[in-house]
Amino acid sequence: MSLAVTSAFAAANRHAGAVLYDVRLLSEQGGPVRAALGADLTTDPIRDLAAYDTILVAAGIVIPETTPILAAALRAAARARRRVAGLCLGSFVLGEAGLLDGRRATTHWRYAQLFRDRYPASTLEIDKIYIADGTIWTSAGMSAAIDLAVGMIERDHGRDLAHSVARGLVMERRRAGGQAQHSALLDVDAPSDRVQAVLAYARRNLHLPLTTEALAAVACLSPRQFTRLFRAETGTSPAKAVEAIRVEAARLMLEQSRLPIEEIARETGFANRERMRRSFLRVHGEGPRTIRQAAGPLAVA
């Protein structure tokens, strides 16, 4: 999955009509490298990382080994080159090389405690999609590496090209570095078409009251039957699910727009900012203003 990051740079070349990025795959020894699913990747040796502008350290689904040769090469590259990035568990490689000491970083949320234990001199911000701290970049799990790459493209060549790349890659939305790794919508899912249709209806109609009775009518069930089925499939009540969907939609608007908080509250069905604030405190433990401030500008150093 980390190798998908190369598609963002290829798309940038295509949309710009010029070779903005020349991407190479490197390994310590060079030659073919076997991926987890059995495909061989052709790589060049890392003899001179100083020849490259940007170094991206990719990783699979287990924490990679960091050899002394690789660590030394990365330290030299960090001193001489414009930026070095650790993608997902690749951040552990940067940590082993000592490149995260005194810096902010992120990685996959599942490995947060292990990261803190290993690299106490680094400030782990596990609620971020990616972070650019000076010349050192790190990303959260898997697909967040693509967001990091698009962030680099924006830093290099501006927002218009970055948005063209995001659209070309059919990214659902442009995610800035300050966004949270975890989406509440992942927790509100259901196996049956009936309940899926209700969830889709709720997401399309946040401005409506979305009472249990109204949702039951969409499912063509009585409120009691619907509530029982909904809880069995999602593990939560219709009211709590609607709240989570509203909060998620509002959070995205806070991170991706400069709309007034009061307007976002109305757009997402909260009626007013105080009701939205209370829901945010229940779901996220912090208010809308704090989340907007945490999102900040795109991957600023």
User: Which tens digits make up the pLDDT trace of 203-242?
Assistant: 889 989 999 999 999 999 999 999 999 999 888 999 999 9
Q: pTM, whole model, 2 decimals?
A: 0.62
For residue 113, pLDDT over 70 is answered with yes
Q: pLDDT category, 300, cuts 50, 70, 90?
A: very low
Tokens 């050192």 -> residue? 136
Domains detected in the chain: 2-168 (3.40.50.880), 184-295 (1.10.10.60)
Q: What is the mean pLDDT of residues 119-129?
A: 88
Task: Read off the pLDDT of residues 83-99 as tens digits, 9 standing for 90 and up.
Answer: 999 999 999 999 999 99
Q: State percent of the chain over pLDDT 70.
A: 91
Task: Read off the pLDDT of residues 231-270 as tens digits, 9 standing for 90 and up.
Answer: 998 889 999 999 999 998 898 888 777 788 999 999 999 9
Buried b (16+ CB within 10 A) or exposed e, 237-258: ebebbbbbbbbbbbbbbbbeee
Q: pLDDT category, 175, cuts 50, 70, 90?
A: low
Q: Are 131 and 177 in contact (CB under 8 A)?
A: yes
Q: What is the model's pLDDT at position 283?
A: 84
Task: Read off the pLDDT of residues 125-137 as tens digits, 9 standing for 90 and up.
Answer: 877 788 999 999 9
